[in-house]
């Protein structure tokens, strides 16, 4: 899977209001194709039950030990979340980060890991 295909998944996630199982499964499938040597089994097992946990497992499989920074406002009508993924939380000068935003926490997390993946495929 190339960068353009991952970007298409990012666009679908950014347009979503909630993270449903179909979209999450599609995103995990895209990650599996882009990174066939990585194991996303734990994330796949949680797709139907715990979308936020599934995305966290996706991040752990793809970017182990990376720091997750979340900022947001939890609002049932329309939340506003921002997620930054960095190799370390000790400094702000990481050359490679993933940033995502969305109306729900799992959408922001998923956007961030997908964007980080696009950078990894371009390297």
pLDDT of residue 14: 94
Residue with tokens 């979308």: 51
Give Cα separations from 2 to 13, 14, 79, 119 (angstroms).
17, 19, 31, 11
* Spatial separation of the C-alpha atoms in residues 48 and 118, rounded to whole Å: 25
Torsion sign (Cα): 94, 69, 45, 78: negative
- Whole-number Cα distances in Å, 65 to 8, 9, 59, 83, 87: 27, 24, 9, 15, 7
User: pTM to 2 decimals?
Assistant: 0.90
Q: Give me the domain span that covers residue 20.
A: 3-122
Number of domains in the chain: 1
- Among residues 109, 101, 30, 29, the alpha carbon closest in space to that of 67 is found at 109
Q: What is the pLDDT of residue 89?
A: 66
CATH number at residue 96: 3.30.2120
Average pLDDT, the chain: 88
**10-residue block means of pLDDT along the chain (123 residues)?**
82 94 94 92 91 94 92 77 85 74 94 93 74
């Amino acid at each position: 899977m190339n960068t353009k295909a991952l970007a298409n998944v990012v666009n679908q996630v950014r347009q979503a209001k909630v993270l449903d199982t179909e979209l999450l499964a599609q995103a995990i499938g895209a990650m599996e194709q882009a990174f066939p040597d990585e194991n996303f089994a734990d994330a796949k097992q949680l797709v139907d039950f715990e979308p936020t946990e599934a995305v966290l497992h996706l991040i752990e499989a793809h970017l182990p030990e990376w720091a997750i920074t979340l900022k947001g406002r939890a609002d049932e009508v329309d939340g506003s979340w921002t997620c930054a993924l960095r190799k370390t939380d000790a400094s702000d000068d990481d050359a490679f980060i993933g940033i995502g935003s969305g109306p729900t926490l799992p959408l922001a997390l998923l956007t961030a890991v997908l964007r980080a993946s696009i950078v990894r495929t371009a390297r």
